[in-house]
Structure 1
């Protein structure tokens, strides 16, 4: 008789400013109990971040599979890019580093991928077939592709060119502040970027997230897309929930 599928898993979301974790219901994507967060150590070296992630895990009475997100491309458990953390991460196996301080088998994936997976399964894209594209507008532009509920990992589509320039330099939320753009001006740039993605991918649904999604009324109505677009629902818990899902589905497992 095969063992019963787990009803919960543990997720840790490693970010540039904080490392947070929680136990997640695999039926609803909701946290079971509270989320726990510790500031990301500076500098965010592999050794320091691994120690902090272990402290987050130790806060919980949990044994079982663990999913961990990382703000960079992760392939077969190894970090390939590290834009907002210490460059010493590149080439390091996040699985090998964290396994000794975690309460179970470790699976790792990109942070935007985790958020997109969670939104597609539990949030704004729940029940939608076909290609769902999540775009997070923050310091950069993160993207996640989920087709019929299955994640297509490491789609770094924030770096496509728009008017000969890296899209995230033009249209990330940080560009609005850096260039002193009005909501109308920034929305025009976001619109250009999303229209280019639309032409390339022809998705069934766009989900937009990031800090600016909290002020969606100021810019989403200014977009001109043929594809349906909705605002992310899971906010700060999306990465944790997506990491927990990845833990039991073996996404990007080494």
Structure 2
């Protein structure tokens, strides 16, 4: 039975890469190598399905025996993707969960990528046992977010799209890690943008903890100490594996 499973597979679909691994659900750690392929150009549904099939075949887990969770960069409600961040617009209003289930020939659990990263951190990482409101943000191509209140996920928060007063660009266009790379900002220059972002989110939500995820969190010593906010802010434990681990954890939902 899936509810008794001790292992599951997590697939994390991003705008640039698709990652997957076999996860120990008791300890929240990878039991396999992390398999990664490039996200197909244009990221249309049929091409993404082909890439996901490839990573599952590489892992040797194409059957129903092991539960499977899939993370995706979109608002996800009842298995339908309602937005498209750095992927094809075909995903907007798309029956994504059913599409993958039909294509893979098995049941899956489909969820927003930042939300599953939040699940990884609240069950196995930096937010475990944290009371009150934790806000996880993933700093990468965009800014993803997960709201966790006393360990319970409030899905699809999309705090990367808060607007800046009198500016055309939203928060993620201004302050995501991709903006730092694109504009060749120093850590200090980027931290000034993050200062605006976290101060604004702090004002709106009064959280008890910020957790910062995404691949750049491994360099947290370069920028977190530059931020002046009242809320404790810590790097994520699982970093780039959080999507895989959280998706696997949610596969039993």
Give the structure-1-normalised TM-score.
0.90
Deviations along 1:142-201, whole A, 9 cap, x unmatched?
111112222111111111123333112221122223334332222111011101111111
Picking from 223, 236, 242, the partner of 2:240 is: 236
CA contact (8 A) 1:64 1:105 kept: no
SS at match of 2:118: helix
Q: Give 1:1-150 correspondences, 5 Å limit.
A: 5-62=4-61, 63-102=65-104, 104-150=106-152
Question: RMSD of the alignment, in Å?
Answer: 1.9
CA contact (8 A) 1:19 1:37 kept: yes
Deviations along 1:99-155, whole A, 9 cap, x unmatched?
134374211111111111101211111221221111112221111111222211111
User: How far is the alpha carbon of 1:4 from its aligned partner?
Assistant: 6.1
SS at match of 1:139: coil
SS at match of 2:29: coil
Gaps of 5+ in 1: 250-254
Partners of 1:51 and 1:188 lie apart in 2 by: 41
In the alignment of these two chains, the number of paired residues is: 248
Gaps of 5+ in 2: none
User: How far is the alpha carbon of 1:230 from its aligned partner?
Assistant: 0.5
CA contact (8 A) 1:158 1:167 kept: yes
Partners of 1:4 and 1:151 lie apart in 2 by: 19
CA contact (8 A) 1:54 1:98 kept: no
CA contact (8 A) 1:135 1:142 kept: yes
**Comparing 40-49 and 211-220, the one that deviates more:** 211-220
CA contact (8 A) 1:69 1:108 kept: yes
Give the structure-2-normalised TM-score.
0.91
